[in-house]
Amino acid sequence: MGSKPRTWVAAIVAVVTMLSLAACGGSSGPTGYAGHVLTRFHTGVTVAGTPAGSGTPISAGQRVATDVTGALQFAAGKLTCRQFASTDVIVQPSSGVLLRYSGGGSSTSTVTCSTSQSGPCHPRCKVDAGHILITMADPLFTVLGYGSEITVRVAAGSLTLIRTGLSGSVTLNPGQQMTTVGDQLLSTPIYFDLADLPPFEQQAFHELRSSDPQAQLRATTAAGLNDKSFTCGSQRPSLTVTGQVASDQPTTLTYQWHRSDGTQSGLYSMYFTRPGVQQAQADTWTPPTDNFEGTDTLKVYGVSAASASSEPANVRLRCTPASATIMSVSLTSFTTSGTTASATWHVTTDTTDPFTFTAEFAQTRDTSTDITTDDNYYAAPAMTESGQTSYDIPVTWQYNACLPDPLVVTLGTASGAGAPVTTPLGITKKTGSCIG
């Protein structure tokens, strides 16, 4: 997030966020042990004004601060927190208080925390954010501030917000956030996009322990082959693969499509307020070659250690050569001589691209029936024509003059782009007699 001038009012500077109730904290009293630094990710981290590193103890009432580049993770009672971006907190300042969030310097200040896995906060911990009161149920959450604004967002568990001095409350479920300014009323929660958060906060959401460390996730893709064909030389079409994600409990997660050509989709967010199945954002992408066979896999990443991967969906793209559109087909001549029948068709097309032509013949007594069912039906092998837009196509064949059928019939079909075109049935009487 970009830097913004801080204009904290005095009351908010003094006490912005307080997690309270003794049952949630460590030892009581202002000088007791409160916690310790777990990891220092960058320099610029101090405890009680002294540079600190991994393992540094934090006594009750001591201030933990990061400068604009500093970042750390620390433990305090039931909380494990990561803070960064010029953020100050006071750990266990008095009995019954876990953490006091007191802002930071001239840029956005952020602390992301999760409760431990040892069960819910009993009695439930509270957050006093100056002008809002927050009751927590083992959440994974962020408190972010600049100026007189306080933003609270939840990745797992839940937070219930109560505006100090007023009735009513708002509950934030996984994937929701709310921003308050000064003494404004609570508003309707909105969903945030996990993929749009700063990288350090994304990492904190993924790696901090939460109320769903063992969430069972499942990803599936639509069954069958995603197959498309197109005309070679034209614009390559895109393929679309759909999928679903399932979770056995409330959680926040991100997911991404991984394609066999080495590319990936954008990172998407998904929020579950209860166990269930949700439709993933479909993946639409254009294969790298005209003729392509590959796979597309849906991968899911939970806010804790949970993850899942679908079975790969098969995808295929094929290009077919361009073909001409048939404009007209007509039978221009049809004669018999002895045991030879001859026919000529005139075909016109819109381009010089190729098309196929098939001629069919039969000897029959009844032309009202389908000639393909006649015992004496014959289809000549399909031929390919190209290079012109006007064609005269002759075909000859031998017929059996000894058969008693009095008629010889034929038709021709030209096939290219669009629907095939077939001539009406051509009919001629047999001539001559049986030749022994």
Q: Among the listed ranges 64-78, 175-189, 208-222, 416-430, which one has the minimum average pLDDT value?
A: 208-222
Given a contact cutoff of 8 angstroms between Cβ atoms, the answer to whether 325 and 351 are in contact is yes
Q: Among the listed ranges 39-43, 64-68, 315-319, 373-377, which one has the minimum average pLDDT value?
A: 373-377
Provide the number of structural domains found in the chain: 3
* 21 has pLDDT over 60: no
Q: Among the listed ranges 22-26, 195-199, 411-415, which one has the minimum average pLDDT value?
A: 22-26
313-340 pLDDT per residue, tens: 999 999 988 899 999 999 999 998 888 8
120-155 pLDDT per residue, tens: 454 445 555 556 666 666 677 888 887 778 888 888
Residues 246 and 392 in one domain: no
Which of 16-30, 32-46, 163-177 tops mean pLDDT? Answer: 32-46
Is there a domain that residue 4 lies in?
no
263 DSSP assignment: -
φ/ψ region of 182 (left if φ > 0, alpha if ψ in -120 to 50, else beta) reads left
CATH number of the domain to which 251 belongs = 2.60.40.10
Q: From 294, 268, 303, select the one nearest 282 (Cα to Cα).
A: 268
Is there a domain that residue 2 lies in?
no
**What does the pLDDT read at residue 167?**
72
* 9 has pLDDT over 80: no
Residues 407 and 369 in one domain: yes
Mean pLDDT in the chain? 79
Residues 312 and 332 in one domain: no
Is there a domain that residue 212 lies in?
no
Q: Last residue of a domain, which of 207, 225, 250?
A: 207
**What does the pLDDT read at residue 303?**
66
* 265 has pLDDT over 50: yes
Query: Across residues 95-101, what is the average pLDDT?
Result: 67
Q: Among the listed ranges 155-159, 297-301, 331-335, 343-347, which one has the minimum average pLDDT value?
A: 155-159
**What does the pLDDT read at residue 109?**
85
Sign for the CA dihedral angle at 152, 154, 159, 162 comes to: positive
Helix (H, G, I), strand (E, B) or coil at 360: strand
Q: From 195, 339, 175, 160, select the one nearest 271 (Cα to Cα).
A: 175
* 79 has pLDDT over 90: no
Is there a domain that residue 378 lies in?
yes
| Residue 404 belongs to domain spanning | 326-429
Q: The whole model's pTM is what?
A: 0.52
Q: Which position has the token pair 């309707």?
A: 188
